[in-house]
A = this chain, B = another copy of it.
Amino acid sequence: MIQEKTVLIVEDEPDIQELIRYHLEKEGYATMLCASGSEALNIIEKQHPDLVLLDLMLPEISGIEVLKKVRFMWNLKELPIIIVSARTDETDVITGLELGADNYLPKPFSPKVLVANVKALLRRASTSSSTKNTHDDNLTLVGDLKIDQTRHEAFYEGSALVLTASEFSLLTLLASSPGRVFTRNQIISGMRGDDYPVTERSIDVQIASVRKKMGSGGNLIKTVWGIGYSYQDKP
């Protein structure tokens, strides 16, 4: 039996919400609805939808913020996101795409276009992740460290590491290129995007924190004096 794919619709206008929902369900997708950015983040974190349709104009948190959080704080790089926008103002759309949205649908759009986009993106997402691994999850393995990006969980020597969002992001970045030395600025860019305003030293604190939580494995995060940090690959 085929697993039903779930689409999260983030949209504050009820009419459009209904419209989208109708067409997607007709095609056999499960849908979830929400009207604000904070709800959206909540749902994404807890229910793991397979795709997100994201309106950029939202109350409270803007769509851009949602995107940023999903991509950089949670490292859910694989979650397909389609931006839906009524904006004549293209800036947001461009920002959105640069932040890693997978596609963009201008309003108004025809149901056919909508469904076609959703289908295409889901197909691509499923093939790209399944080629990576025998198993379905998107995980990183380095020695005794295991990181599951989709579930947002990390394990060292089999036991779970209780990491904050940025600690997780940091460890993921380092461990996904073992042996590579990252400068503090590269780490900041990798975690938060290019123009995130923090002192380089803040990275040191995060590093210390992850090391401590990794216990004996903490020394796998190497300090490269005068340069930055790296995750050890060779024993």
Residues of A at under 8 Å CB distance from B?
Answer: 150-152, 164-166, 179-181, 224-227, 230
Contact = CB atoms under 8 A, between A and B. Distances in A.
Contacts of A224: 152, 165
B165 A225 contact: yes
B164 A225 contact: yes
Contact of A151 (B166, B181, B226): B181
A134 to B, nearest CB: 21
Given A152-B181, A165-B226, 6 more contacts: A150-B181, A151-B181, A152-B230, A164-B225, A164-B226, A165-B227
A230 B165 contact: no
18 contacts: A150-B179, A150-B180, A150-B181, A151-B179, A151-B180, A151-B181, A151-B230, A152-B181, A152-B224, A152-B227, A152-B230, A164-B225, A164-B226, A165-B224, A165-B225, A165-B226, A165-B227, A166-B226
Main secondary structure of the interface of A (DSSP, over half): loop
A181 B227 CA distance: 27
A150 B183 CA distance: 11
A69 B160 CA distance: 41
Nearest to A181: B152
A164 B179 CA distance: 17
A12 to B, nearest CB: 45
A56 to B, nearest CB: 37
Contacts of A152: 181, 224, 227, 230
Nearest to A177: B150
Q: 8 smallest A-B Cβ distances: which pairs? A: A165-B226, A152-B181, A151-B179, A150-B180, A165-B227, A152-B224, A152-B227, A151-B181
A28 to B, nearest CB: 43
A215 to B, nearest CB: 22
Nearest to A180: B150
A168 to B, nearest CB: 8
A181 B152 CA distance: 6
A213 B108 CA distance: 66
